[in-house]
Amino acid sequence: MPTTNKIDIRSLDLPQLQQHFTAMKEPAYRAKQVYQWLWEKSARSFTEMSNLSKDLRNKLDEHYAINVVEVNNSQFSNDHTIKNAFRLYDGNIVEGVLIPMEDRMTACVSSQVGCSLTCKFCATGYMDRKRNLNADEIYDQVVLIDQQAKKNYNVPLTNIVYMGMGEPLLNYANVMKSIERITAPDGLNMSYKRITVSTAGIAKMIKKLADDGAKFNLALSLHAANDKKRNEIMPINEANSLKALAESLKYYFAKTKNPVTYEYIVFNNFNDEIEDAMELAKFCKHVPCKVNLIEYNPIQFADFLNAEGDKIDAFSNYLKNQGITTNIRRSRGKDIDAACGQLAVKEQN
């Protein structure tokens, strides 16, 4: 458990850290050295900061905390996907996944402990939302999964998707700060274009992304292109209708010029008919986009089934014939409950 009287040092930006060092009668350049250790070198303790004096390291340890994330346990799938239960400094657990593929090595990270959106098909939606993750806790997931990729497959991370537990746009400030640190030259120095943030669809926050000049990729979990069906499986749609989402996406594209990805789980006998594909194709006309058709991964709380293969193929072919770039995404890590929609902490020991 955290020591409450210590300051979370990674909650401070560089100017703030420099002010703290000045108050400690330490030169400001030392703050920059510490900042480098924290974000470029991903130091997990003050002891590692070898270019600082022992006295300064002890002083930092006395007043500040590095609230590191630990790998609580890992599960290895038959398809080489690795699911991690990450233990946070306060004992809470979130999950993150390493997805190795031929052309990329992807980290799927969480942004909240649990989720408040109650999507009917998603295991995380059946958990309570306990709290938002801090920016450094999201950053730590990326660092740990990158280390895992190098250790197990001798390949570094190439991509990051904010598609784990939680709704990223309901933890806006911390998600944005984590991306800033991941992409910064004095951070992990990864490209914005290698990062995708997925949202269930919060119209006003999509507009805020546009106003803030977001450079990363945006994915919208759509799953139905008519309000009646979407309301049924995604209660958030009642306050963020397809009309409101379309308006926010037009605003987003006008400002950023970034195309959008629509994620669409194809459920058996729910949204798998050509009529559904026609509705989706109509929605696709609002902004330049591509569609990922996703296999449904069963969870114990819901009785949805994946659509039949020929239905998914027909759905895909219809969209392609309408000139829409469409990919069928096969599940990864299903045997260890690491696939899309399956993340839920089952035990914490």
Domain coordinates in residue numbering, the chain: 7-65, 70-336
**Tokens linked to 259:** 């195309």
**Tokens linked to 147:** 């280390």
> Residue type at 279?
E
For the purposes of burial, counting CB atoms within 10 Å of the CB of 62, is it exposed (0-12), middle (13-18) or buried (19 or more)?
exposed
Active site amino acids: 95, 340
Q: Per-residue pLDDT averaged across 60-67, rounded?
A: 96
Q: Are 260 and 252 in contact (CB under 8 A)?
A: yes
pLDDT, position 241: 97
Residue closest to 143 by CA, chosen among 185, 192, 190:
190
Q: Per-residue pLDDT averaged across 282-287, rounded?
A: 98
Comparing 11-15, 76-80, 114-118, the range with the smallest average pLDDT is: 114-118
**Tokens linked to 112:** 């909240």
Contacts of 91 (CB under 8 A, 6+ apart): 1, 348
Is 7-65's fold the same as 70-336's? no
pLDDT, position 79: 86
Q: Per-residue pLDDT averaged across 259-288, rounded?
A: 96
Q: Per-residue pLDDT averaged across 81-88, rounded?
A: 95
Residue closest to 45 by CA, chosen among 28, 30, 64, 32:
64
pLDDT at position 48 over 50: yes
Residue 50 or residue 2, greater confidence: 50
Q: What is the mean pLDDT of the chain?
A: 91
Q: Per-residue pLDDT averaged across 274-291, rounded?
A: 98
* Confidence band for 5, pLDDT divided at 50, 70 and 90: confident
pLDDT, position 3: 47
User: Can you name the CATH fold of 7-65?
Assistant: DNA polymerase; domain 1 (1.10.150)
pLDDT, position 305: 83
Q: Per-residue pLDDT averaged across 115-122, rounded?
A: 79
pLDDT in tens, 139-183: 999 999 999 999 999 999 999 999 999 999 999 999 999 999 999
Q: CATH class for domain 70-336?
A: alpha beta
Between vectors from CA 320 to CA 331 and to CA 295, what angle results, nearest 5°? 15
Residues contributing to the annotated binding site: 115, 119, 122, 166-167, 198, 221-223, 297
Residues contributing to the annotated binding site for S-adenosyl-L-methionine: 166-167, 198, 221-223, 297
pLDDT at position 118 over 60: yes
Comparing 50-59, 208-217, 297-306, 337-346, the range with the smallest average pLDDT is: 337-346
**Tokens linked to 74:** 């890992």
* Confidence band for 336, pLDDT divided at 50, 70 and 90: low
- N-to-C CA span, the chain: 15
- Pairing status of strand 105-108 against strand 93-100: antiparallel
**Tokens linked to 328:** 């069928």
* Confidence band for 343, pLDDT divided at 50, 70 and 90: very low
Q: What is the pTM of this model?
A: 0.92
Number of Cβ atoms within 10 Å of the Cβ of 320: 12
Number of Cβ atoms within 10 Å of the Cβ of 291: 25
Comparing 60-64, 151-155, 237-241, 307-311, the range with the smallest average pLDDT is: 307-311
SS3 state at 332: coil
